[in-house]
Amino acid sequence: MNTEKSHSLFEEAKKYMPGGVNSPVRAYQAVKREPLFIKRAEKGYIYDVDGNSYVDFVCSWGPGILGHSHPQVIAAVQKACEDGLTFGAPTEKETILAKLISSLMPSMEMMRLVNSGTEAVMSVVRAARGFTGKNKVIKFNGCYHGHSDCMLVKAGSGLLTQSIPSGAGVPENCTKDTLIAEYNDISSVEKLIESNKGEIACVIIEPVAANMGVVPPKKEFLQELRKLTEDNGILLIFDEVITGFRLALGGAQEYYGVKPDLTSLGKIAGGGMPLAVYGGRRDIMENVAPIGKVYQAGTLSGNPIAVTAGIETLKILRENKNIYTELEKKSEILEKAFKGSGFNVNRVGSLLCPFFTDKKVESYTDALSSDTEKYAKYFSFMLEKGIYIAPSQFEAMFVSYAHTDEDIEKTAACIREAGKYMF
């Protein structure tokens, strides 16, 4: 596989950007390769600058549930661009998107549009603290909630990939009120609540942990967490930046039948454009400025182009009831290929992850037992076969509606071949 142009571009990029990239996991360090530079993407494929094509299971880290360059979304965005890229003023489309989200996810009674998942989480935690008048937050080991200071503790995603327990430049005072529980262990939450009585504003969780690979909640874990928070007057926040609109139209909260007090959304909500959302109960969100004292603002929040992409994507998902059925069917084929080839795999809906460990992966500790050297070997094998997966053991594999039956069968065949190669 020729990647000379990608190599040349990477050498130039390293002169101007840390590691030559604008997000750490793109650097391919964990898989001992150099990153590919992508020129374009269409449907279920991406194409690099050297002319290589790949079946894409990264899907821009989740937004691409419909695949790349969906004609309806592209046409709407192009038309919106003709009216101007940004106004810094209210537009009708912001309300259209908010109403659409609220109709699909009823817990989102009131919301605020922002620009990234990190911003959404930072803001939703602030809203929880402002509403309750309490400072302490419980998060879970290995769950990633963006790179705001108070959340950069025992996080997953790129931090796990690079073995960074927390980021440099984060003062201790910023994380002293962040308490760490163990994912899928309700007793660890109970202990923290008991030892910090009356001081905890909220519990924030990825309902499906998708930044330490894919780790689903144990049966009743989310229901027990909901009851525990309600009984103790603590707000429950679902970080659905990844799971929102991916597992179901109503996200993980519909999929598992658990209603949080607050939610953060991103990725699919913006149709692949820089857009995120936080919101939830009306009485909590009415404390956000300008009608409340919890301040949050953003020059490009509710950007009309990003909002347009979000509206069109959610409309397509709402109007085509077959999408989630097809995603389930395609994902199940890949899951069976993994299991039949000796891989230890977790799947929830269209999120998958193979782990190189003999343990059943139900927690951060289980995920860490994975052999990352083997994953790197597996990654290179699949890439050489034209299958583009995450360059890290601790990220999800995303299936899109644009993946054809042929794409899925090709990938399943490569998985089976990889099993013979790896085991």
Least confident of 81-85, 87-91, 106-110, 148-152: 148-152
Among candidate residues 267, 366, 388, 401, the one labeled active-site is 267
Average confidence (pLDDT) over 51-75:
98
Average confidence (pLDDT) over 224-247:
98
Q: What SS3 class is residue 61?
A: helix
CB burial of residue 165 (10 Å; 0-12, 13-18, 19+): exposed
Structure tokens at 310: 């979000």
The domain defined by 71-319 folds into: Aspartate Aminotransferase; domain 2 (3.40.640)
Concerning whether 267 is annotated as a catalytic residue, the answer is yes
- pLDDT over threshold 90, residue 73: yes
Exposure pattern of 23-55 as b/e (b: 16+ CB <10 Å)? ebbbbbbbbebbbbbbeebebbbbbbbbebebb
Instruction: Name residues whose C-beta falls within 8 Å of residue 131's C-beta, 6 or more positions apart in sequence.
Output: 201, 235, 283, 284, 287, 294
pLDDT tens by residue, 166-211: 567 777 777 889 999 999 999 999 999 999 999 999 999 999 999 9
User: What is the C-alpha separation between 363 and 368, in angstroms, rounded?
Assistant: 9
Sign, CA dihedral 250-397-151-139, equals: positive
Fold match, 4-69+321-422 / 71-319: no
User: What is the C-alpha separation between 249 and 226, in angstroms, rounded?
Assistant: 21
- DSSP-derived letter for residue 272 is T
Among candidate residues 144, 183, 256, 378, the one labeled active-site is 144
**pTM score:** 0.95
Least confident of 38-52, 154-168, 341-355, 358-372: 154-168
- pLDDT over threshold 60, residue 354: yes
CB burial of residue 349 (10 Å; 0-12, 13-18, 19+): buried
- DSSP-derived letter for residue 262 is E
pLDDT at 160: 42
Concerning whether 183 is annotated as a catalytic residue, the answer is no
Among candidate residues 43, 45, 136, 239, the one labeled active-site is 239
**DSSP string for 122-140:** HHHHHHHHHHHT--EEEEE
Find the largest Cα–Cα distance for the chain: 61
Structure tokens at 92: 């009708």
Mean pLDDT computed over every residue of the chain: 95
Residue whose token pair is 């009120």: 177
Residue 280 to residues 96, 261, 404, Cα–Cα distance (Å):
17, 6, 36
pLDDT tens by residue, 279-333: 999 999 999 999 999 999 999 999 999 999 999 999 999 999 899 999 999 999 9
Instruction: Name the percent of the chain in helix, strand, coil, to the closest 5.
Output: 45, 15, 40
In CATH terms, 4-69+321-422 corresponds, of 3.90.1150.10, 3.90.1650.10, 3.40.50.2000, 3.40.50.970, to 3.90.1150.10
Domain locations along the chain: 4-69+321-422, 71-319
- pLDDT over threshold 70, residue 343: yes
Whole-number CA gyration radius for the chain: 21
- pLDDT over threshold 80, residue 272: yes
- pLDDT over threshold 80, residue 155: no
Q: Tell me the pLDDT band of 405, cut-offs 50, 70 and 90.
A: very high
pLDDT at 171: 76
